Structure 1
Amino acid sequence: MRFALIAAWLACATLSVGATSGFAQERIQVVTTTTDLRSITEAVGGERVAVVSLVPPNMDAEDYQPKPQDVLRLKNASMLVRVGLDYDLWADRLLIQAAKPEISRGGAGYVDASFGIAVLELRGMSVGSGDGHAHGSGNPHYWLDPKNAEIITGTILEVLARIDPAGAASYEANRTAFLARLQAKLTEWEAKLAPLKGMPIVAYHNNWPYFARRFRLDFVDFIETKPGVPPSPAHLAAIVRTMQARNVRIVVREPHEPERDIQFVAGKAAAQVVVLAASVGALPRAADYISLFDVNVEALTVAASQ
């Protein structure tokens, strides 16, 4: 009987210690608008953070319709990380509904990851015709240049250290290790894509200027002239003429983009369609930020070798 009592006391003591330890290690709740920012935030935050993204991995963030549970997620969060540059404007409505100043603009836990980024296609408040993007603040797909992760992670680190000073050293070490891995991969990616330098490519949507600049690729035209508006027959015919004149052999599409028009121009110009992921999770093997580039680089190099 005495042994049974001792065993019961030890079990209770263990549970008590575990509960205390779990409380001491409670993770910082972070909400990101996209899966890309979730992956990058997890790389910096490590085990001290619990990160959830609002936009599912197989959906274009520009077309996302917020859900009621998104407001609750923001209410429970200590930090928000967003793309900015008018890409996730719907997040502003959620922040108003959540009514949590700490993660709203100017709050200690608010992160606009575009801060400090050298923005491409910046036109002030005007939008060029036929550019495929309705963003006066510039093209928002800056995460597709892996070098921009240096700036993004620096901004995230600053805010994490501000709201959790005890974890500052850990966040700094995590960021340093992540950027070292990324730099090694960048050297590998640049070598693999070197044979594609200057090769003309057509894409469905204008998501790729940062990716193209980093790896010296040449996206010569885009099938979608305005977001959400199907291309006209005249525009498709012009695309085919461009492809034939420039000897375009690769047409890029994302998994969620419509296939009909892509297949049409590819067939007319004897080009092959290459599916790339513009965000983490858009393809099964693009499970995190680094593997996102692994998948895209592999797909392009295989296509170029055929």
Structure 2
Amino acid sequence: MQGGTAMTRRLAAVSVLVAAALAAVLLHPPGAKGEDAGAKHVLCTFWPEYVFALNVADGVEGVRLDILIPPAGGSPHEYQLSPADLEKAARADLIIANGYLEPFMERLVRAFPKTPVVRTADSVALIPNEGTDEHTARRLRWNPHTWLSVLNAICETDAIRAALTRVYPAGARRFLENAAAYQRRLLELRGEMLEASFSFRRRKIVTFHNAYAYMARELGLEVTAVIMEVAGKAPSPARVAEIIERIRRSGGAAVFAEPQFPDRVAKLIAEQTGMKTWVLDPGVTTPPTKDAYEKVMRANLRSLSEALGKR
């Protein structure tokens, strides 16, 4: 009976989504007249995709960008689509997504099967999920936090450029010029981060959640432990004790909180291991301006440099 009840709930949820999607299409059919008639509507699922697309589409009058999950919209891990979101999706000529992090992605694709989707994470070398965390709980094979490597950001920018060119060929030259200019800035940022990382005195870090595997790979760091294994759920006392013991056995590791979550547990772990706490920011709640990614990553670099010290 429990299996049947769960199936009934899933079918009901899908029915609601399909009905809302149909209503959105009827209210906003593709090609509808209005002040943006003739423009291509591009919907980015959340912060990194939107920031990268802002740079690539800068100054291209025939493209209108929108964001599905605004910085104040909560965690992308747990986000649920609203009727207003479905209206945005119904108007979209292209959807730009990470492709692995969004819990609603497959339902969105099923609701709008004719809308092209670019999954930016498919443009990079993915890292498998290990252990039990919020991602493996959703049976995700790969860690989705790809944008926290600058090299990945460069690759994802090019994936966005290619997708925009397919949807709006008239902007191809401007997309190429904009992407090249932005990628040069990102290469400069990556150079700064690599140069600083060469002189880090320590290499071991404890992160608040499993978001920094790509950054660690790029900078030669070791993630000793992850504090919050399940998004939005505080770790158990046993888990906290395990992390403290792991840090002690490893000879010490820098402990990082995140601005999106309370830092009480991170501070407790740091106090028990004789460390301080610093902050690493995935950026998803930062206002999405064209230079937002660079600002967030440089702030992360300052935090890493202070926490890990110089040789």
Kindly state the Cα deviation for residue 115 of structure 1 after the two structures are TM-superposed: 2.0
Structure 1 residues 88 and 198: alpha-carbon distance in aligned structure 2, compared to 1, 3 A threshold: same
SS of 1:147's equivalent?
helix
Tell whether the 8 Å contact from 2:47 to 2:69 is kept in structure 1 after alignment: yes
**Stretch of structure 1 that moved more, 221-230 or 267-276:** 221-230
* 1:239-292 deviation digits (Å, cap 9, x = unpaired): 111222323352112112232321211111121111221124448999622222
- In structure 1, the residue matched to 2:59 is 47
Distance 1:202 1:73, change over 3 A: same
Tell me, in whole angstroms, the C-alpha distance in 1 between the residues paired with 2:37 and 2:188.
32
> After superposition, where does 1:204-283 map in structure 2 within 5 Å?
204-282=208-286
CA separation of 1:197/1:182 partners in 2, compared to 1, >3 Å: closer, same or farther? farther
Does 1:174 pair with 2:178? yes
Change in Cα spacing, 1:25 to 1:167, as seen in structure 2 (3 Å) is farther
Alignment of 1:1-306 (within 5 A): 27-48=39-60, 49-58=63-72, 59-85=74-100, 87-97=101-111, 99=112, 101-103=113-115, 107=116, 110-121=117-128, 128-130=130-132, 133-134=135-136, 135-196=139-200, 198-282=202-286, 288-305=292-309
C-alpha distance in structure 2 between counterparts of 1:186 and 1:25, whole Å: 40
Structure 2: distance between partners of 1:265 and 1:229: 17
> Aligned pair in 2 of structure 1 residues 267, 282: CA closer, same or farther (>3 Å)?
farther
Q: Secondary structure at the match of 1:81?
A: strand
With normalisation by structure 2, the TM-score equals 0.78
Bigger-Rg structure (1/2): 1
Greater alpha carbon shift after TM alignment, 147-156 vs 164-173: 147-156
Measured at CA, do residues 162 and 286 of structure 1 come closer, stay the same or move farther in structure 2, by a change above 3 Å? closer
**3-state DSSP of counterpart to 2:228:** coil
**CA apart distance, 1:213:** 0.5
Aligned length: 272
> Any stretches of 5+ residues in structure 2 without a counterpart?
1-34
Q: Which residue does 2:11 correspond to in 1? A: none
Q: SS in structure 1 opposite 2:199?
A: helix
> Could you tell me the percent identity over the aligned residues?
26
Are the counterparts in 2 of residues 30 and 52 from structure 1 also a CA contact under 8 Å? yes
Q: For the residues of structure 2 that align with 1:219 and 1:286, how far apart are their CA atoms?
A: 30
Distance in 1 of aligned mates of 2:36 and 2:85 = 27
Instruction: Deviation per CA, 1:190-248: give whole Å up to 9, x if none.
Output: 11232326521111211111000111112111112334443221221111112223233
Task: Letter of the 2:218 partner, please give it.
Answer: R
Structure 1: gaps of 5 or more residues: 1-22, 123-127
